Structure 1
Amino acid sequence: MDHIFRASRQWERIQNRYITEDAAVDLTNLKSDPRNFKLSLWDPTTNGVRYLKTLAYHLGMELSPAELARIRRTPNREIGDPTTVRCGGETLCMDYLQATYEVGFIEREIDLSGARILEIGAGYGRTCHMIMSNHDISGYCIVDLKNTLRLSKAYLRQVLDEPRFKLIDFIEVDSLQDDSLRSERFDLCINIHSMTEMSPETVRAYLDLINETCSAFYVKNPVGKYIDKSLDGYLQGQEAVEMALENGPLRQLLDIHDSQAVQAAVPAFIEGYRPGDAWDCVGDSRALPWSYLWQALYKNPRKPSDG
C-alpha cells in the first residue's frame, strides 16, 4: 500500500494561521508569540490554570513526608472548590502547599504546643486552619479588615471542629485603639503577604504592637516592588498599580525574576520587618515557589519563647 505523508487538518490550520511563509523567516518575538506557543509552549495568557496545576503538581511530588503529613492532618480542604492536583493519592492545592511550608518553617524554631498566636491579616484562614489541625494551641487571635474577617470566620467555622473554633478571637482593625491588645501576650505573631499592602505608618504600628506583646514573629512578604506589565497586563488598571507601589515598608523597585536582585534586597527585608532593635532574626529563606517572596522568623530575647 502507498504511504501517505501529509499534515493533519490541525496542523494545516496552524500553518495557515500562525506559521505562515512570512512568519517562518521572521525571528522577531519568535519565542514569545503564537508561533512558539503552537510549537513548544502553552500560551500563558490563556493557560494560567494549566500552569498553576503544573506548578502545584511539581511541588506536591517534592513534598517531604513531614510536609505531606501536615497536609493530611488538615481536614476539609476541599471546601471552597480549590484548583487541585493529586500526588501520591492526596488531593493538593497551592494554598495548602503554601501553608505546610509556612508552618514547617515556624516549627523549626517555635514549639507550638500550648502556644497563643496572633495573626495579622489571615486571608480566608488557611494557615490558622493548618496550625490548629496540627497543634494543640491555647488560643488564636486574628486581626483583619471587616469583610475579610467575616470570610475567615465563615471558613474556619466550617473546616474546624467546635472546640478548636472557639479558641479563635476575631478582631476588626477598626476596633483597635492604641491600648488594644497591649496587655495581651502572644507566643507568636504571623503576617503573610499583607504588610506589603499596608501604609508604612500602619506597618510601623503593627510592628510596635508585636514588639510589646509577642515573643516571636514570622513574616512572609515580597522583598520589594516591581513593575512588569507582561505578568497580568495591569488588569486592575494603572491606579491599582500606583496604590500598590506606595504601600509596605519596602518600596524599592527590583527585577523580581533576577535571583541576584532578590538576594541583594534581603538585608533590607530583614531590617524592615524587625519589630524592634533587640529582636534576633533566627532564620530566613526564600518562600517557595515564588521568586520574590521572603520569609523570616524573629525572636524577642526579652520575652521567653519555646523553641
Structure 2
Amino acid sequence: MHTERYGGSPLWEAYHRTRVTKEASVALDGFKSSGVNFKLALWNPQTNGVRYLKALIHNVAGQLDDAGWERLRRIRGRETGAPIAVRTHGELVDMDYLQAVLELDFLGRHATLDGASVLEIGAGYGRTCHAVLANHDVAAYAVVDLENSLDLARAYLRAVLDDDQLAKVAFIRAEDVERELAGDRFDLCLNIDSFAEMDPEVVGNYLALIAGRCDGFYVKNPVGKYLDPSLDGHAEGQDLVAMALRTGPVRDVIDIHDSEAVRRQSARFLEAYRPAEGWRAVADEWAPPWSYYWQALYRTAEGAPIDPRM
C-alpha cells in the first residue's frame, strides 16, 4: 500500500517507470514531442485526435457571432449520420456545419443568395446545399458529383430537407454535366474542397464551364500541397500521397502552418481559380479554421453583379 505522505500516486509511479524515467528526465532533445511531455503537459495527438477535434470545435464555435448562431440553428437535422460533435450554447455542433456557417458568413457579406440559382460542383454528402437551403430561399440548386458521392448526397438531403427544399435540388452526374446543363445559367457556382483533389485538366474543364454558364464563383480550397508525415504518418501509403500531389490547379509544396507562406501563396491560388479572363476576385481571405485554406468570390466583368452593395 502506498503510504508516503507527499509521494506520487500509483498512476504516477507507473508513469515514472514507463515514460518520465530517470534517463528521459535528463535528455532534452525532442522530449516535448515525445511520450515524456505527453504525460506532463500535452495529450498525445496520435491517440487523442478526437479530443483535439472536439476542443477545436468548442473554440471555433466560441467565435461565432449572433448571426452565425442563428444560421446554425436554422439548419435542422445536423445530427443525421452521428457526427463527432460537442454541445455548446445549447446546440449540438460539429466541424462540418461550423465551416458551412463560416462560408455563409463570407457569402452573406459579398453576395445575394435569396432568389439565386446555384450550381455546386463536388458537394460531398450535401452539407453546403443543406446549409444554403436552410438559410436562403434560392430559386434552384444543382449538385454535380461523381456517382457514388452523388448517391450519398441524394440520400442525405432526402433525410434532412423538407419536400419544398428538396424539390429545388437537381442531382447531376459529372459525366452528364454538359448535357444536363445545356442552356442553363446560374447566378453562382460553389466549389468547396474538391477542385484540389481533381486532375488539373478536369479542373480546367470545370472552370471553363463556370465561365460560360455562371455569373459568380465561390471557391474554398487549399492554397497548396504539403509533405509533412508528422501530420498523419502518411497512413494511406506513398502511392496515395503521390496521387494527391498531382491533383488540383495549385500543386506547390509549402509549409502549410506558416501563415506568411500561406498568405504569399494565396496570390497563386487567386490566379489558378480565376474561371477566365474578364473575371475578377471581388473578395478573398483566409478560410478558418484550417491554416492553409483560402476562399474567394469571383464575378464576371460583364455579368450581373452578385454583390448586393454594387
- Are 1:157 and 2:171 matched, yes or no? no
> In structure 1, the residue corresponding to 2:241 is in which secondary structure?
helix
Counterpart for residue 91 of structure 2: 90
CA distance in 1, matches of 2:175, 2:168: 22
CA distance in 2, matches of 1:99, 1:296: 15
CA distance in 1, matches of 2:48, 2:201: 39
1:180 Cα offset (Å): 5.0
> In structure 2, the residue corresponding to 1:7 is in which secondary structure?
coil
- Matched to 2:280, the amino acid is D
1:182 Cα offset (Å): 4.3
Return 237-246 or 167-176, whichever deviates more. Answer: 167-176
1:50-129 equivalences under 5 Å are 50-129=51-130
Deviations 1:10-31 (A, max 9, x none): 0000001011111111112110
1:126 Cα offset (Å): 0.6
1:301 Cα offset (Å): 2.2
Counterpart for residue 202 of structure 1: 202
Q: CA RMSD in A?
A: 1.2
CA distance in 2, matches of 1:305, 1:62: 30
Checking the alignment, whether the CA contact within 8 Å between 1:193 and 1:221 is kept in structure 2 is yes
Checking the alignment, whether the CA contact within 8 Å between 1:115 and 1:139 is kept in structure 2 is yes
Deviations 1:153-200 (A, max 9, x none): 0000010001110110100012234x6524211010000010001111
Checking the alignment, whether the CA contact within 8 Å between 1:224 and 1:250 is kept in structure 2 is yes
1:1-307 equivalences under 5 Å are 4-177=5-178, 181-306=181-306, 307=308
CA distance in 2, matches of 1:126, 1:176: 21
> In structure 2, the residue corresponding to 1:43 is in which secondary structure?
coil
Deviations 1:36-65 (A, max 9, x none): 000000000000000000000011112111
Return 58-67 or 42-51, whichever deviates more. Answer: 58-67
CA distance in 1, matches of 2:286, 2:222: 10
1:302 Cα offset (Å): 1.3
Which 4+ residue blocks in structure 1 deviate beyond 6 angstroms? none
Checking the alignment, whether the CA contact within 8 Å between 1:270 and 1:296 is kept in structure 2 is yes
Return 33-42 or 275-284, whichever deviates more. Answer: 275-284
Checking the alignment, whether the CA contact within 8 Å between 2:31 and 2:37 is kept in structure 1 is yes
How many residues align structurally? 305
CA distance in 2, matches of 1:239, 1:232: 15
CA distance in 1, matches of 2:212, 2:182: 7
1:304 Cα offset (Å): 0.9
- Matched to 2:282, the amino acid is V
Checking the alignment, whether the CA contact within 8 Å between 1:53 and 1:85 is kept in structure 2 is yes
> In structure 2, the residue corresponding to 1:176 is in which secondary structure?
helix
TM-score (norm 1): 0.97
> In structure 2, the residue corresponding to 1:217 is in which secondary structure?
strand
Unaligned runs of 5+ in 2: none
Question: Taking structure 1 as reference, are residues 254 and 238 closer, same or farther at Cα in structure 2, changes over 3 Å only?
Answer: same
- Matched to 1:219, the amino acid is V
Unaligned runs of 5+ in 1: none
